[in-house]
Structure 1
Amino acid sequence: MTARVRSRLSTEREEEILRAVLDLLREHGYETLTMDLVASRTRSSKATLYRQWESKARLILVALRRAGTPPGGNEDIDTGSVAGDLRELMRRAGDHVVENAELLQALARELHRNTELLETFREVILFPEIELLRDILERGTARGEIAATGPSPEEISYMLFGAIVGRPLLEGREADAEFLVRCTDTMVLPALGGPPRP
Structure 2
Amino acid sequence: MDTPARQQEVFAAVLHVFADVGYARFNMDLVASRARASKASLYQRWPSKARLIVDALKANMPVLAQPDEGSFAEDVRAIMRSWGEPRPFDLAGVFLGLLEGSRQDADLVRLREEHVDRTYTEQLRVAVDRAKARGELSRDLNADFLMTALISTFVLRSEERDVVDGIVDGLLRPLIG
TM-score (norm 2): 0.64
Q: Secondary structure at the match of 1:125?
A: helix
**What's the CA shift string for 1:27-77, capped at 9, x where partnerless?**
665345444664673658347633xxx74213314434665x53xx21x14
Is the counterpart of residue 126 in structure 1 residue 117 in structure 2?
yes
The answer to whether 1:185 aligns with 2:176 is no
1:80 aligns with 2:64: no
- The verdict on how the C-alpha distance between 1:160 and 1:177 changes in structure 2, with shifts beyond 3 A counting, is farther
Q: Which of 137, 143, 161 pairs up with 2:151?
A: 161
Does structure 2 retain, via aligned residues, the 8 Å contact 1:91–1:178?
A: no
SS of 1:184's partner is helix
The Cα shift of 1:184 comes to: 2.5
CA-CA distance at 1:161 after TM superposition: 3.5
State the superposition RMSD in angstroms: 4.1
Match of 1:16 in 2: 9
Bigger mean CA offset, 82-91 vs 56-65: 56-65
1:21 partner letter: V
Quote the offset at 1:154 in angstroms. Answer: 0.9
Distance 1:109 1:30, change over 3 A: closer
Q: Which has the higher contact order (CA 8 A, sep 6+)?
A: 2
Match of 1:49 among 35, 45, 61: 45
Identity %: 26
How many residues are treated as equivalent by the alignment? 171
Give the gaps of 5 or more residues in structure 1. Answer: 1-7, 168-172
With over 3 angstroms needed to count, the CA separation of the structure-2 counterparts of 1:146 and 1:48, relative to structure 1, is farther
* Aligned equivalents of 2:24, 2:95: Cα separation in 1: 14
**Does the 8 A contact of 1:86 with 1:184 survive in 2?**
yes
For 1:49, give the aligned amino acid. R
**Alpha-carbon distance, 1:128 to partner:** 2.9
1:131: how far off?
2.0
Query: Is there any run of 5+ residues in structure 2 with no aligned partner, and where?
Result: none
AA of the residue aligned to 1:184: V
Instruction: Give the direction of change, closer, same or farther, for the CA distance of 1:34–1:96 in structure 2 (3 Å limit).
Output: same
